[in-house]
Amino acid sequence: MYRFRWKTHPLATAMLLMALAFLLCHALTIPWPDNYFAWRHELMLLSGVELIMLMSLGMLLGMRPLWLEKLWGGLDKLYGLHRRLGIAAGLMLSAHWLLDLSPRWLIQLGLIAPKARHAGPHLFSWTALAKQVGEWAAWAVLGLVIIALLRMVPYGFWRKLHKLFAPVYLMGAFHSAILIPLSFWWTPLGWLLALLLLVGGYAALLSLRRKVGSLQRHVGIITAVESLPGNMLELRCAVPRWPGHQAGQFALLQLDAVEGAHPFTIASAWQGQGELRFVIKALGDYTRSLPGRLQPGAEVVLEGPYGGFTGTRDGLAAQGAQVWVAGGVGVTPFLAWLQAQWQPLPAPVDFFYCVRHAGEAVRLDELRHACARLGVRLHLLESAHGQRLTAQALPATAADVWFCGPEGLGQSLQRQLASRPQPPRFHHEAFSLR
C-alpha cells in the first residue's frame, strides 16, 4: 500500500560498524598506493562478506517467522525490510563485481602493472569452481532483483520466479565458503558469518521443500459465498484448528494451488469457534474469477494470522481522540475492530468511510449498528456526490489516525497531517508483500 522509507535499523547499523572495523584493521597494514591488488583483495572480501550477510538475512525474513513478525510490528514491515535487504544486496553485488573486473580496466588505462601469473597444469580446483558458481549466481541475483522491482510483472510470474532465490543463495553460500580465507573464520565477524550462513542455508532448504510458513498453515472449509455490491465478495470459512487472531490482522489465503496464497484482512473478530470472514474486491483477473469458482464445501488453506494493524489492542485504550479512515474494501479491519468491542470505547472516535456511493459500502447496516452501539461517529463520504476527504475534516484533537485504503489517499492525508503543529500518529499497513 505504501512505499517504505529507508530507515536505519539496529541490525543494519551493527553490521556496518563491524564491516568498517574489519576494513580499518586491515587497511592499517596495507601500503597505499603501492599495492593495489592487496587493497582490492580486502575490499572484495569486505563486499563479499556484506553481500552474503544481506542475502542470509533476506532468506531468514522470507521464511515469515512469527517471532520476527511480531518484533518488527507486522509482516508488511518485515517484508519491507526484506525488500530493502534485496536492493542492498543488489548494490553490494554490483560493487563486488566491479572490484573483480577492475584490474583489466586499470591495466588497459596504464594505471597499474599486470600481476605476474604462474602457469600450471589445468587440474580440478575447488577455487575455480567456486568462482564460476559465484559468477552464475551473480547474474541470477541481479536479474531476480531487477525483475522483483518491476511492478508491471504479473504477481503469479513474480511469485514463481521469486522461488529461485533459494538455489541462487545456496550457490552464493558455496562461493563464499570456499573463497573466504581460512583465517577470517576465526574472527568474531567470521563466527557471525558462519551463523548467518547456517541460518540462511536452512531457510533456503525449507523454501526448496515448500515449507515456508508451514507451521502457521491451517486447512478450512468454505461455508458461505456471497456477492456484494461494488465487485466485492464475502467469503466465510470454518477453520477448526485456527489459533485465533487479533482484530485487524490478516491471513494468506490459498484458494487455488496454482495461483498460490494472497493476503486478505480477516473481516471478523475472533469468537473462539474457528469461523472467519473475508471481503475480497475484484482488482485483477484472479479475484474477478472467484465468484464463479468458489462454492461452499470447497477446501481452503490459510496461513497466519499476521499483521500489526490492531488498534483495538494498542491505541484505543489510550487517552486521546481517535480517527479511523477507510477507503472501499479497506473497511475490513475496522469491521473486525467493531465486532471485537463489547462496550463503548474510552476515547472519542470519528470513523470516515470513503466510497464511490453508499450502495457500494461494505455491510453498511452492520457498520451503522456497531458504531451506534459503541459511540463511534460514522461519516460516510460518497465521491460520486463530490465528497472528498481532506485532513481539514479530521478533528484537530486527534491523537491517532488509523488508515486502510488506497495508497494515494493515504499519502495525501499523511502529508497534510504532517503540517499540523502537533501531528497525530499515523498508522497504516503496507498490504502489498512485493
Domain extents for the chain? Answer: 10-109+127-209, 214-306, 321-428
The span from the CA of 193 to the CA of 49, in Å, is 7
Which CATH number is associated with domain 214-306?
Answer: 2.40.30.10
The span from the CA of 311 to the CA of 199, in Å, is 34
Of 326, 272, 248, the closest CA to residue 75 belongs to: 248
Is residue 248 within 8 A of residue 311, CB to CB? The reply is yes
**DSSP tag of 223:** E
Residue type, 257: A
Neighbouring C-beta atoms of residue 221, cutoff 10 Å: 14
Assign residue 90 a region (left: φ > 0; alpha: ψ between -120 and 50; beta: otherwise).
alpha
CATH architecture of the region 10-109+127-209: Up-down Bundle (1.20)
Q: Calculate the CA dihedral of residues 403, 409, 414, 420 and round it to 10 degrees.
A: -110
CA-atom Rg of the chain in angstroms: 26
Chain mean position to CA 380: 32
The span from the CA of 92 to the CA of 311, in Å, is 38
- Supply the pLDDT for residue 19: 56
The span from the CA of 30 to the CA of 92, in Å, is 23
Q: How far apart are the first and last CA of the chain?
A: 10
Cβ neighbors of 269 (< 8 A, separation 6 or more) are 247, 336, 337, 339, 340
**DSSP tag of 360:** G
Per-residue cell: 93: 553485488
Of 280, 281, 300, the closest CA to residue 223 belongs to: 300
- Supply the pLDDT for residue 343: 79
The span from the CA of 331 to the CA of 267, in Å, is 8
Is residue 432 within 8 A of residue 1, CB to CB? The reply is yes
- Strand (E) or helix (H) holding 252: strand 250-254
**Fold adopted by 321-428:** Rossmann fold (3.40.50)
- Supply the pLDDT for residue 27: 52
Q: Is the bond preceding residue 305 a cis peptide, omega within 30 degrees? A: yes
pLDDT along the chain (434 residues), means of 10: 40 55 54 67 85 92 88 84 86 87 80 67 76 89 80 72 89 93 86 93 93 90 92 93 93 84 91 90 80 88 91 55 92 94 83 93 94 94 90 88 90 91 87 59
Report field, pTM of the whole predicted structure over 0.85: no
Of 286, 255, 2, 63, the closest CA to residue 156 belongs to: 286
- Strand (E) or helix (H) holding 68: helix 66-71
Is residue 328 within 8 A of residue 361, CB to CB? The reply is no
